[in-house]
Amino acid sequence: MIKFSSWRKVLGAQTNRPPFACLWLCHIIESKVNRTGVGSSMLELKSVRIQKPTEVNVIIGQSHFIKTVEDIHEALVQAVPGIKFGLAFCEASGPCLIRRSGTDRELENLAVDAAKAIGAGHVFVVMLGNAFPVNVLNQIKAVPEVCTIYCATANPLQVIVAGDGEGRGIVGVIDGASPKGVEGEDEQQQRKALLRRLGYKL
Protein backbone atom coordinates (compact mmCIF):
# COMPACT_ATOMS: atom_id res chain seq x y z
CA MET A 1 0.00 0.00 0.00
CA ILE A 2 1.33 3.43 -0.95
CA LYS A 3 0.35 6.20 1.40
CA PHE A 4 0.68 9.95 0.79
CA SER A 5 0.00 12.00 3.92
CA SER A 6 -1.99 15.22 3.62
CA TRP A 7 -0.61 16.16 0.21
CA ARG A 8 -3.37 18.73 -0.35
CA LYS A 9 -2.43 20.54 2.87
CA VAL A 10 1.32 20.26 2.31
CA LEU A 11 1.41 21.41 -1.30
CA GLY A 12 -1.54 23.77 -1.18
CA ALA A 13 -3.71 21.96 -3.74
CA GLN A 14 -7.03 23.70 -4.34
CA THR A 15 -8.75 20.82 -6.18
CA ASN A 16 -9.16 17.09 -5.75
CA ARG A 17 -6.42 16.41 -8.30
CA PRO A 18 -2.95 15.74 -6.88
CA PRO A 19 -0.38 18.45 -7.71
CA PHE A 20 2.45 17.67 -10.13
CA ALA A 21 4.98 16.93 -7.39
CA CYS A 22 2.67 14.31 -5.90
CA LEU A 23 2.06 12.69 -9.29
CA TRP A 24 5.80 12.58 -9.88
CA LEU A 25 6.39 10.93 -6.51
CA CYS A 26 3.64 8.39 -7.25
CA HIS A 27 5.40 7.47 -10.47
CA ILE A 28 8.77 7.05 -8.72
CA ILE A 29 7.36 4.84 -5.96
CA GLU A 30 5.22 2.73 -8.28
CA SER A 31 8.30 2.12 -10.43
CA LYS A 32 10.25 1.07 -7.33
CA VAL A 33 7.52 -1.28 -6.14
CA ASN A 34 7.16 -2.84 -9.58
CA ARG A 35 10.91 -3.41 -9.88
CA THR A 36 11.41 -4.89 -6.43
CA GLY A 37 8.16 -6.78 -6.12
CA VAL A 38 7.61 -5.22 -2.71
CA GLY A 39 3.96 -5.41 -1.76
CA SER A 40 3.82 -2.28 0.39
CA SER A 41 5.59 1.04 0.61
CA MET A 42 4.96 4.33 2.38
CA LEU A 43 6.04 7.82 1.46
CA GLU A 44 5.18 10.76 3.69
CA LEU A 45 5.24 14.35 2.52
CA LYS A 46 5.87 17.01 5.14
CA SER A 47 6.16 20.79 5.06
CA VAL A 48 8.98 22.16 7.23
CA ARG A 49 8.85 25.89 8.01
CA ILE A 50 12.33 27.38 8.41
CA GLN A 51 12.58 29.44 11.58
CA LYS A 52 14.81 32.53 11.34
CA PRO A 53 14.75 36.30 11.85
CA THR A 54 13.28 38.18 8.88
CA GLU A 55 16.59 39.90 8.07
CA VAL A 56 18.56 36.65 7.87
CA ASN A 57 19.11 35.10 4.43
CA VAL A 58 19.24 31.33 4.13
CA ILE A 59 20.79 29.12 1.47
CA ILE A 60 19.77 25.45 1.29
CA GLY A 61 21.50 22.96 -0.96
CA GLN A 62 22.67 19.40 -1.37
CA SER A 63 26.21 18.07 -1.28
CA HIS A 64 27.81 14.63 -1.14
CA PHE A 65 30.83 14.53 1.17
CA ILE A 66 31.75 15.46 4.74
CA LYS A 67 34.48 17.75 3.34
CA THR A 68 31.58 20.06 2.43
CA VAL A 69 31.66 21.72 5.86
CA GLU A 70 35.22 23.00 5.68
CA ASP A 71 35.09 23.81 1.96
CA ILE A 72 31.92 25.92 2.18
CA HIS A 73 33.30 27.65 5.29
CA GLU A 74 36.47 28.57 3.39
CA ALA A 75 34.47 29.73 0.34
CA LEU A 76 32.34 32.06 2.47
CA VAL A 77 35.15 33.70 4.43
CA GLN A 78 37.12 34.25 1.23
CA ALA A 79 34.11 35.74 -0.59
CA VAL A 80 33.23 38.36 2.04
CA PRO A 81 35.87 39.43 4.58
CA GLY A 82 34.36 39.58 8.07
CA ILE A 83 31.27 37.63 7.02
CA LYS A 84 28.93 36.37 9.76
CA PHE A 85 27.33 33.03 9.00
CA GLY A 86 26.31 29.65 10.35
CA LEU A 87 26.58 26.37 8.46
CA ALA A 88 25.08 22.93 9.09
CA PHE A 89 25.45 19.74 7.03
CA CYS A 90 23.43 16.53 7.44
CA GLU A 91 25.70 13.51 7.25
CA ALA A 92 23.97 10.65 5.38
CA SER A 93 26.00 7.61 6.47
CA GLY A 94 28.14 6.40 9.36
CA PRO A 95 27.23 8.29 12.55
CA CYS A 96 24.76 10.48 10.57
CA LEU A 97 25.54 13.61 12.58
CA ILE A 98 24.68 17.20 11.80
CA ARG A 99 28.09 18.75 11.20
CA ARG A 100 28.42 22.46 11.97
CA SER A 101 30.67 25.45 11.45
CA GLY A 102 30.48 29.23 11.21
CA THR A 103 31.69 32.59 12.44
CA ASP A 104 28.60 33.47 14.51
CA ARG A 105 27.25 31.12 17.17
CA GLU A 106 23.63 32.34 16.92
CA LEU A 107 23.57 31.88 13.15
CA GLU A 108 25.25 28.50 13.54
CA ASN A 109 22.52 27.40 15.95
CA LEU A 110 19.83 28.59 13.50
CA ALA A 111 21.45 26.55 10.72
CA VAL A 112 21.61 23.47 12.93
CA ASP A 113 17.96 23.83 13.94
CA ALA A 114 16.90 24.16 10.30
CA ALA A 115 18.99 21.17 9.23
CA LYS A 116 17.54 19.12 12.08
CA ALA A 117 13.98 20.06 11.11
CA ILE A 118 14.58 19.15 7.45
CA GLY A 119 16.39 15.95 8.42
CA ALA A 120 17.45 15.02 4.88
CA GLY A 121 20.79 13.36 4.19
CA HIS A 122 23.55 15.43 2.54
CA VAL A 123 21.53 18.65 2.80
CA PHE A 124 23.35 21.76 3.97
CA VAL A 125 21.99 25.02 5.38
CA VAL A 126 23.77 28.38 5.44
CA MET A 127 22.41 31.27 7.52
CA LEU A 128 23.84 34.66 6.50
CA GLY A 129 24.11 37.65 8.82
CA ASN A 130 25.92 40.60 7.23
CA ALA A 131 25.96 39.33 3.63
CA PHE A 132 23.51 38.44 0.88
CA PRO A 133 23.26 35.32 -1.30
CA VAL A 134 24.34 37.34 -4.35
CA ASN A 135 27.70 37.88 -2.59
CA VAL A 136 28.44 34.19 -2.03
CA LEU A 137 26.22 31.97 -4.18
CA ASN A 138 28.66 31.46 -7.05
CA GLN A 139 31.44 30.61 -4.60
CA ILE A 140 29.23 27.98 -2.95
CA LYS A 141 28.23 26.53 -6.33
CA ALA A 142 31.93 26.23 -7.21
CA VAL A 143 32.64 23.97 -4.20
CA PRO A 144 33.35 20.55 -5.78
CA GLU A 145 31.09 18.63 -3.40
CA VAL A 146 28.00 20.81 -3.96
CA CYS A 147 25.39 19.12 -6.18
CA THR A 148 22.53 21.63 -6.20
CA ILE A 149 21.02 24.71 -4.58
CA TYR A 150 17.35 24.59 -3.61
CA CYS A 151 16.91 28.21 -2.57
CA ALA A 152 18.60 31.41 -1.45
CA THR A 153 16.18 33.80 0.24
CA ALA A 154 15.21 36.00 3.16
CA ASN A 155 11.51 35.31 2.55
CA PRO A 156 9.32 33.12 4.74
CA LEU A 157 10.33 29.64 3.64
CA GLN A 158 8.88 26.15 3.72
CA VAL A 159 10.78 23.05 2.62
CA ILE A 160 8.75 20.13 1.24
CA VAL A 161 10.32 16.91 2.50
CA ALA A 162 9.58 13.31 1.51
CA GLY A 163 10.39 10.43 3.85
CA ASP A 164 10.10 6.65 3.51
CA GLY A 165 10.95 5.60 7.06
CA GLU A 166 14.65 5.10 6.28
CA GLY A 167 15.67 8.53 5.03
CA ARG A 168 14.35 11.87 3.87
CA GLY A 169 14.87 14.07 0.82
CA ILE A 170 13.87 17.55 -0.34
CA VAL A 171 11.14 17.62 -3.00
CA GLY A 172 11.10 21.41 -3.35
CA VAL A 173 10.57 24.68 -1.52
CA ILE A 174 7.85 27.29 -1.08
CA ASP A 175 9.72 30.60 -1.19
CA GLY A 176 7.66 33.60 -0.11
CA ALA A 177 4.22 34.39 -1.57
CA SER A 178 2.56 33.76 -4.94
CA PRO A 179 2.54 36.50 -7.64
CA LYS A 180 -0.31 39.02 -7.43
CA GLY A 181 -0.01 40.38 -10.98
CA VAL A 182 2.38 41.37 -13.79
CA GLU A 183 4.53 44.50 -13.65
CA GLY A 184 3.69 47.49 -15.84
CA GLU A 185 5.89 50.34 -17.03
CA ASP A 186 5.80 52.11 -13.65
CA GLU A 187 6.85 48.96 -11.81
CA GLN A 188 9.64 48.38 -14.33
CA GLN A 189 11.02 51.84 -13.68
CA GLN A 190 10.78 51.31 -9.92
CA ARG A 191 12.64 47.99 -10.21
CA LYS A 192 15.43 49.54 -12.28
CA ALA A 193 15.70 52.52 -9.92
CA LEU A 194 15.97 50.21 -6.89
CA LEU A 195 18.87 48.27 -8.42
CA ARG A 196 20.72 51.52 -9.07
CA ARG A 197 20.09 52.82 -5.55
CA LEU A 198 21.55 49.60 -4.20
CA GLY A 199 24.60 49.96 -6.45
CA TYR A 200 24.05 46.82 -8.53
CA LYS A 201 23.60 48.79 -11.76
CA LEU A 202 25.21 51.98 -13.07
For the chain, percent of residues with pLDDT exceeding 70: 80
Convert the pLDDT of each residue in 99-138 to its tens digit. Answer: 999 999 999 999 999 999 999 999 999 999 999 999 999 9
Cα separations in angstroms, 67 against 6, 86, 108, 188? 37, 16, 17, 43
Q: What is the mean pLDDT of residues 170-190?
A: 96
Domain ranges of the chain: 1-42, 46-202
- DSSP code per residue over 109-125: HHHHHHHHHH--TTEEE
Convert the pLDDT of each residue in 52-83 to its tens digit. Answer: 999 999 999 999 999 999 999 999 999 999 99
Question: Of 175 and 8, which is predicted with more confidence?
Answer: 175
| Contact between 45 and 6 (Cβ < 8 Å) | yes
| Contact between 21 and 11 (Cβ < 8 Å) | yes
- For the chain, the first-to-last Cα distance in angstroms comes to 59
Beta bridge pairs of residue 202: none
Residue in 52, 73, 79, 62 with CA at minimum distance from that of residue 154: 52
Cα 57 from Cα 54, distance rounded (Å): 8
Q: What's the CATH number for 46-202?
A: 3.40.1520.10
Res 42: pLDDT: 81
Q: What is the mean pLDDT of residues 148-168?
A: 95
